Structure 1
Amino acid sequence: MMLGLCAIVLYQSRRDALDRTRETSHNVALIAERDIERNFELYGLSLQAVVDGLHRPDVMALPLHLRRLLLFDRAATAKYLESMLVLDESGNIVIDSASDVPRKRNFADRKYFTVQRDNPNVGLYISDPFRSRLHDGAPSIVLSRRLSHLDGSFAGAVVIAIDLEYFHNLFAGLSLGSHGSVALIGRDGIMIMRQPYDPHIIGRDITGASTFQHFVAAQEGSFSDTASIDGVRRLYSFKNFPHLPLIIMVAAAEQDIYAAWRQRALTIGTLMLGFGFGFVVLSAVLGAQLRRRMRAESELQLLARTDDLTGLHNRRTLGEILDSEWRRARRTRTVFSLLFVDIDRFKAYNDAYGHLAGDEALAAVARCIGETIRRPADSAARYGGEEFIVVLPDTAAAGASLIAEKIRLAISELGIEHANSEYGRITASIGATSWQPEQNSDVTAVIKAADEALYIAKTMGRNRVSSS
């Protein structure tokens, strides 16, 4: 009981550690999601402001310097924002936030450009990570919006390039344990940023990972799984951005979650095991003593109820069985049968073969009787000397005679040599009787009737069954 209570407390403590980590991870994911969503909302508004400005003739009529300041409104100087560009329908830079004179670059091959060109209703598009051509291959992502002519045809795109260092620094400031992880993933399964940081993981497609299947199956939630990237089992908390095609994931390693719990469990468990072991040893000693006493009492009780030679019930137990079955038969008004078994010429067998052989023969006959009666309610007892009584509840006369014949045949088939018997082997005579519900006699009368039937079997030549 003590160990069980200790185990319950430790289990609950383990569950509490898991629940606290789940709640903490959820809160961390929520904070990161709100920070990213707020910044992306500002970037999206900056893009829309450029789109709106490009459609105003008065803005486009301004000198290049003023037009650039008005369109970009110093947004391009924000930390982690690499550049803001206006691209024409061919993918060339026509307005550059970094200079009045646009840099000579073409981005017609970039997905953020082709998506806007081919899908008029795509709206704000967030690209997969890529190496920036304008910033020495720095890992970046782009937010883009479509530009359209008055007739709705494609006129180019406005783009903002964001340095992935923004996400790297944001995630690095989160406390996740020595083996924890946080990641920003596109809903298309492309890894945008992950902490611990590994440049080879950025841009990896994880759609085949079991963890990603959980991410897209619900808006938010938590689960335990093993990461396909590093093989560490973690508790994942994730949230799909409501207005962006992004997923934020915060994962705490199970080894970190349970580190403090394991130390506490080891201390408490060691103490409880010590107390428990002492208690078990003391209980075992007392239990052994009690079991020895119970075995002794059981053996004494068994000896008092059984015949030590044959292993059948003794005469005292037979009296109890007869009394119980007799009263039950009278109460339920059911048939009650009795067999009186006597070994033929047993005294002559003893005289010829000795008492040791006689005891062995008695034991063999007793085994035959015990093996022939199969029902749990049937019982057999040694009545005295070479005489046995078989009690057969709920058994009619025909059934009793059939069982008696099986017993007689089994004894005969033992083949125990008896030179002084007319059959050359040990045989038995059996008297069978049944009590009917309409009879008013008592149990002694039934025994007497079985004994009389046995006498008839003896006088008729032995080794036979006689019924009364």
Structure 2
Amino acid sequence: MWRGRLAPQAIIWGGIFVALVMVSLCATVLYQGRLDAMDRARETSRNLALIAERDIERNFELYALSLQAVVDGMRDPDVLALPPRQRRQMLFDRAATAKYLGSMLVLDASGNIVIDSGSDIPRKGNFADRKYFIIQRDNPNVGLYISDPYASRLRGGSPSIALTRRLSHPDGSFAGVVLIAVNLEYFHNLFAGLSLGSHGAVSLIGQDGIMVMRQPYDVRTIGRDISKASTFQHFRSAPEGSFSDTASIDGVRRLYLFRNFPDLPLIIMVAEAEQDIYAAWRQRAMTIGSLMVAFGLGFVALSFLLGAQLRRRIRAESELELLARTDGLTGLNNRRTLGEILDQEWRRARRSRSMFSLLFVDIDRFKAYNDTYGHQAGDDALAAVARCIGDNIRRPVDSAARYGGEEFVVVLPDTPPAGAAQIAEQIREAISELAIEHAGSEYGRVTASIGTASWTPEQDGDVTAVIKAADEALYNAKATGRNKVSPFSPA
């Protein structure tokens, strides 16, 4: 019984387990794919940051050399004695014609232009209020200084940054500033060539937190102070690294990769949006995940179908087994099953030295009943009598069987003769109280005669002797008037 119930459940739970394992493996592979996508994005961002960093370092190195050449030239009296055109060519060489360079100027100690790379006659302008001028004036050891973005006064407000060096008199006092103005268009074009998806960003930031350039470009972000942003705190925490955060500028969550320039006060930041990083992975995960979930659900459904089919088969086999062991008309055990029960209970009684009783029940004048009322009524009467017998044996160990025709046998383990007689009397009364009309009976209704026999541990013999004794007691009941219970009495 337990095996019959567990087999379908095992198939169902096994199917669920296999489906869960498949889905778990798929989820593990997809999760690893997500990590791989992040690693690829981090490596791509690092390569792009290196490309941009090296380009900027190379150009700034050239600008720094040009500045130093002007500083050295301003210390040479022979150079200063040259006519303006030759002096300008000597000081600035051809650096002033480089792409993205704005102006190369020499400012005196008051901030006025004294030498201009763009003209033999210097343009009019005073820059004593600029931060780069003030820092060089007040700090003799600044060296190369890179300014924050500003709007050029000489070029119609063009956004620029300045690279400056201090000019000093022989006694070390402040003599002025040499500067090179670099158009921010250089950084704009450099960053525009880096492919980072539709939501990616590249930024060049001063180590003081001032935004020099950002792609996608927005003029309002140039010169913005982000020193208080959480992202900038990461930038200053290590020479280079990566992390995920939400940008304070546009609210997009990105994977940030940053590098602090080793020789310049600048930070390059490459940030790829997570939605772009995972776009291809997400589409693949949705396709594979949906197929795997559908396959898993189908597998589970198939397991349920197989389990249900097996359950139906087990139920059918149980029903067939039950039919093979029971009488189809009365629902009681058949004679074959009776033999198994008798053998089992007899062995147990002999082993435990317990009492064992049998009842032999026979419907009185049943042939006459069939002849008078027909076989269908006879079958109905047999079924009714069987129910009476079943209703009056209450213990699980007691059993009843149709012995043949209108005869029934009741097996009563651990029951003494008095108990067997009492149960027999209850069955007889119940059959009589059915009040089934029987014109051929001397009682006018269907009745039954019952013979009882018992075996005690003191007796010898086998179960056939008990059956024979119960049969003889039944014969005695019929011979002495029917509709009565007759215990076996040895001659």
Q: Please tell me the TM-score bracket, short chain as reference.
A: 0.5 to 0.7
The structure with more radius of gyration: 2
2:206 aligned with 1:207: no
5+ long unaligned stretches in structure 2 = 1-20, 315-491
Code of the residue aligned with 1:157 in structure 2: it is V
Cα distance in 1 for residues equivalent to 2:171 and 2:229: 44
Quote the offset at 1:57 in angstroms: 1.0
Letter in 1 for 2:138: D
**Corresponding pairs, count:** 298
Q: For 2:101, give the aligned amino acid.
A: L
Pairing partner for 1:33 from 49, 53, 62: 53
- In structure 2, the residue matched to 1:175 is 195
Matches of 1:162 and 1:291, distance apart in 2 = 84
Kindly state the Cα deviation for residue 291 of structure 1 after the two structures are TM-superposed: 10
Q: Secondary structure at the match of 2:109?
A: coil
Q: 1:5 to 1:164 in 2, by over 3 A?
A: same
Amino acid of the structure 2 residue aligned with 1:219: P
User: How many Å apart are 1:270 and its aligned residue?
Assistant: 1.4
Q: Which residue in 1 is equivalent to 2:132? A: 112
TM-score (normalizing by structure 2): 0.59
Q: CA deviation at 1:282?
A: 2.9
CA–CA separation in structure 2 for the residues paired with 1:153 and 1:291: 103
The structural deviation recorded for 1:61 is: 1.2
What is aligned with 1:337?
none
- Aligned-residue offset at 1:281: 2.1
Alignment of 1:47-446 (within 5 A): 47-284=67-304
Equivalent AA in structure 1 for residue 278 of structure 2: Y
**Aligned amino acid, residue 14 of structure 1:** R
Give, in whole Å, the separation in 1 of the partners of 2:173 and 2:304.
Answer: 91
Indicate the residue corresponding to 1:369 in structure 2.
Answer: none
Q: What is the root-mean-square deviation in Å for CA atoms of aligned residues? A: 2.2
Q: Which gives a bigger RCO, structure 1 or 2 (Cα 8 Å, sep 6+)?
A: 2
Q: Tell me, in whole angstroms, the C-alpha distance in 1 between the residues paired with 2:211 and 2:251.
A: 17
- SS of residue matched to 2:221: coil
In the other structure, the counterpart of 1:322 is none
Q: Report how far residue 208 of structure 1 moved.
A: 1.2
| Partner Cα separation in structure 2 for residue 140 and residue 206 of structure 1 | 19
Q: Could you tell me how far apart the structure 1 residues matched to 2:307 and 2:163 are?
A: 77
- Quick one: percent identity of the two aligned structures? 78
Q: Determine helix, strand or coil for the equivalent of 2:271.
A: strand
Structure 2 residue matching 1:183: 3-state secondary structure: strand
Taking the aligned partners of 1:143 and 1:15, their CA distance within structure 2 comes to: 42
Letter of the 1:225 counterpart: D
What SS does the corresponding residue of 1:157 show, helix, strand or coil? strand
TM-score by length of 1: 0.61
| Secondary structure of residue in 2 paired with 1:98 | coil
Q: 1:10 aligns with which of 30, 33, 36?
A: 30
Helix, strand or coil: the match of 2:219? coil
Name the SS for the 1:217 alignment partner.
coil
The Cα offsets for residues 382-430 of structure 1, whole Å up to 9 and x where unpaired, read as xxxxxxxxxxxxxxxxxxxxxxxxxxxxxxxxxxxxxxxxxxxxxxxxx
Instruction: Give the equivalent residue in structure 1 for 2:406.
Output: none
Distance 1:14 1:291, change over 3 A: farther
Q: Secondary structure at the match of 1:49?
A: helix
- The letter of the residue matching 1:73 is D
1:285 Cα shift?
A: 5.2
The whole-number CA distance in structure 1 between the counterparts of 2:294 and 2:184 is: 55
